[in-house]
Amino acid sequence: MATAEELKRRVRELENELIKCKQRRSSEEQVHARAKIEKMSAEVVDSNPYSRLMALKRMGIVDNYEKIRSFAVAVVGVGGVGSVTAEMLTRCGIGKLLLFDYDKVELANMNRLFFQPHQAGLSKVEAAENTLRLILVTTDLFLSSLCSHLPFICDFSNGGLEEGKPVDLVLSCVDNFEARMAINTACNELGQVWMESGVSENAVSGHIQLIIPGETACFACAPPLVVAASIDEKTLKKDGVCAASLPTTMGVVAGILVQNVLKYLLGFGSVSYYLGYNAMQDFFPTMAMKANPQCDDQHCRRQQEEYKSKVTEHPKQEAVEEEVVVVVHEENEWGIEVVSEVTEAELQAASGPEPDLPEGITVAYTIPEKEETSGQTVEETDQSLEDLMAQMRKM
């Protein structure tokens, strides 16, 4: 039989142990939430999360890497591409991220990077915020975890780092035509620069595209390369059919997307207007598309007019136009031309076997009609046979 003294000692012991247990749990939960770091240091020590980024200055790649902290980027769609995009931007030290998605994490998403099985059931935005807050040590990050449906007008035009200023860039990482068109409409209305990304339904091709309203083709100016038309895309899954996906293709598309973002925001290298990725043949087509004067979107046509008068009024700005590598011919209905010189047969081979897709689904990089991708445009170039001969002699 324990004495009162022994019982009191036992109570004190247990109380201490319980406090310790609760403290451990609490610290395990809290140790992961990182505080914002005020200054990007270039010091080369193992404890500095910025040393490898700041080294880009010493290597002569980027003039002012710290500028990354002054930019706000909106990521619409936090799935296989958007989540990795958000993580890359966070680890690069982007100033502010705005994430948009209305979907939940499912076990069926586990064949892509970023989300983990224990997050199944959480909203994608909430799960992404939890993970990004763990990494925050490398960045001065603000997450605006808006669970929003369309439209985005207000969020894009007020989401900048400064109160009431627009975001610096919008990234479309959505998986359906409707959402892309909604982003396109909002960006055309605002004159907001954005980048589009996509991965094909058969998981083996993807692309990124830079859209500057009024200057380059918008999403309504040119037919999309990955499209589901004339059916409700949301019903696809219910029919026992789902799109294939791979962490590899989505990782590559997120990588080339964020690389393009860094080049665009920090001003180094060549920003790509369109970069495709065909995994079957390791084929990476590039191209540029001019805005279509007959675009269905009235705001696109207005932006084109404004851009034209801007260039006319301020001739110095013509330099901007020159930077846009427009290789499009007026005769070409859609203004599409692949810059890489590939034959139709090569392109056909590169698109892999024709998958068995549900009605209305078209895979990226297949050739819908002969006219669009034939090499005819080469005949229309300024290059003469003499020039070509001269080039060959130099080889």
- Give the total of residues touching a second copy (CB under 8 A): 106
Interface with a second copy in residues 223-262 (CB under 8 A): 237, 240-249, 251-252, 254-256, 258-260, 262
**Annotation marks residue 242 as catalytic:** yes
321 binds a second copy (CB under 8 A): no
Question: Which one, 14 or 154, has the nearer CB to a second copy?
Answer: 14
Site for a second copy in 15-34 (CB under 8 A): 15, 17-18, 21-22, 24-25, 28, 31-32, 34
Closer by beta carbon to a second copy, 223 or else 247? 247
Cα–Cα distance measured from residue 262 to residue 210, given in angstroms and rounded to the nearest whole number: 13
**Would residue 48 be called left, alpha or beta, if left means φ above 0 and alpha means ψ between -120 and 50 degrees?**
beta
Query: Is the CB of residue 263 less than 8 Å from the CB of residue 90?
Result: no
Q: How many angstroms separate the most distant Cα atoms in the chain?
A: 110
Of residues 68 through 127, those in contact with a second copy by CB under 8 A are 84, 87-88, 91-93, 106-113, 116-118
Read off the tokens for 167.
Answer: 């975001």
Q: How far is the CB of 334 from a second copy (least distance, A)?
A: 19
Cα 116 vs. chain centroid, distance in angstroms? 21
Whole-angstrom Cα distance, residue 147 to residue 126?
A: 9
- Both structure tokens of 160: 């900048």
Structure letter (DSSP) for residue 13: H
Q: Beta strands of 6-109 (E only): which ranges? A: 72-76, 96-100
Using CB under 8 A, which of the segments 149-157, 295-303, 321-329, 378-386 binds a second copy?
378-386
Among 267, 354, 368, 371, binds a second copy (CB under 8 A): 354
Nearer to a second copy, 70 or 286 (CB): 286
**The two structure tokens encoding residue 47:** 């404890």
Q: Does 201 bind a second copy (CB under 8 A)?
A: yes
- For the bound state, the minimum distance from the C-beta of residue 127 to a second copy, rounded and expressed in Å, comes to 13
Residues 134-193 that bind a second copy (CB under 8 A): 134-135, 137-138
Written as one letter, the residue type at 67 is K
Q: Are 365 and 279 in contact (CB under 8 A)?
A: no
What's the closest the beta carbon of residue 207 comes to a second copy, in angstroms?
12
Among 203, 225, 228, 295, binds a second copy (CB under 8 A): 203
**CA distances from residue 172 to 149, 227, 329 in whole angstroms, order as listed:** 14, 15, 28
Decide: is 36 part of the binding site for a second copy (CB under 8 A). no
Is residue 325 at the binding interface for a second copy, with CB under 8 A as the rule? no
Both structure tokens of 66: 């710290």
Cα dihedral 214, 216, 219, 220 sign = positive
Please report how close the Cβ of residue 116 comes to a second copy at its closest, in angstroms: 5
Nearest to 339 by CA among 304, 373, 302, 387: 373
- According to CB under 8 A, which one of 38, 39, 47, 230 is a site residue for a second copy? 47
73 strand-pairing partners: 97, 169
**390 makes contact with a second copy (CB under 8 A):** no
Q: Among 92, 242, 295, 300, which one carries the catalytic annotation?
A: 242
- Among all residues, which ones are annotated catalytic? 242
